[in-house]
Amino acid sequence: MSLFSGMREDIASVMERDPAARTRLEVLLCYPGLWAVWFYRVSHGLWRHHLRLIARMLSQLGRFLTGVDIHPGAQLGRRLFIDHATGVVIGETTIVGSDVTIYQGVTLGGTGKGHGKRHPTVCDGVFIGNNANVLGDITVGENSRVGAGSVVLADVPPNSTVVGVPAHVIYRNGRRVLITDPHEVKDPLSDALIALSSRVEALESRLGAEEPCVQPFADEEAERTAYRVELERMKVYVSSGEGI
C-alpha cells in the first residue's frame, strides 16, 4: 500500500471510530494521534534502511509536536487510532496489529534492561483505555479490552476484558469470569487471601471430622421433664417483665 493510500485509510478509520470527528478535514488538521502515526511511518522506513540516527531524530520531532513517543523500531499495523494522543509511549520491540485503539497516557513498555523482545505484542482489534500500562514481552489477544488505569503484566486471552493492578480477566467471550481460586488473585492482598482460605478449609475439615458434642436424652420421659422445666423457667422470665 502506498503512503497516501495508507493516509486515506487512517483518516477513514478515525471517522469510523470517533463520534467527535465531523469532517475529514477536521481529522487531518486536529488529530495529533494521526500525525504521530504518520511520523512513525516515515521514521520506521528510515529505520528499516539502517538510517537509525535520522529515524530517531524524526521520531523525537514527532514526539515534540504530538506528545506521542513511538520508537521507529516498533511494528505497527494498519488503521491504528491513538485518540487524544498525549503521553502515549510505544517501545522499540512492540508489535501492534491492525484496527487497534489506544487512548491517552498508555504505555506499551518493557521491564528490566534485557535485550531482545522485551515489549508487548498487541493483536488485532484490541482496545486499550487511558493511562493503562502493558509491560513486558506479553501478548494481548485479539479483540480484547484493557480497562483504564490497568497494569497488564501477563498474557491476555483473546476476546477478554482485563482490569486492575495487576490486571485480571473479568470477562471472556462475553461472559463474566468469577475467581474461585484465590491463587488467581494477583494483587498485594493475594497472600493474605490465600492464607485465610487455607485456614477456613482446615477449620471445615476439623468440624467435619469431629463427633457431635450434644448427647441425646436417655429416654423420652427425661426429655419431656427437661422440656417442662424449661417451659416453666420461660414463664417466670416473661411474667417478671425481664423479657419485655
Encode the chain (244 residues) as per-residue pLDDT tens digits. Answer: 677 788 889 999 999 999 998 999 999 999 999 999 999 999 999 999 999 999 999 999 999 999 999 999 999 999 999 998 899 999 999 999 999 999 999 999 988 777 889 999 999 999 999 999 999 999 999 999 999 999 999 999 999 999 988 888 988 888 887 766 655 666 666 667 677 777 788 887 877 765 555 555 556 667 667 767 766 766 655 555 554 4
Spatial distance between the Cα atoms of 194 and 172, rounded to a whole number of angstroms: 24
Question: Where in the chain does DSSP place strands (E)?
Answer: 69-70, 75-76, 81-82, 89-90, 95-96, 101-102, 107-109, 121-122, 127-128, 133-135, 139-140, 145-146, 151-152, 160-163, 168-172, 175-176
194: number of Cβ within 10 Å: 14
Map out the domains of the chain with their CATH numbers. Answer: 3-178 (2.160.10.10), 190-239 (no CATH)
Alpha-carbon distances of 58 from 19, 43, 45, rounded to whole Å: 31, 6, 11
**Cell numbers for 242:** 425481664
Assigned C-alpha cell, 205:
475439615
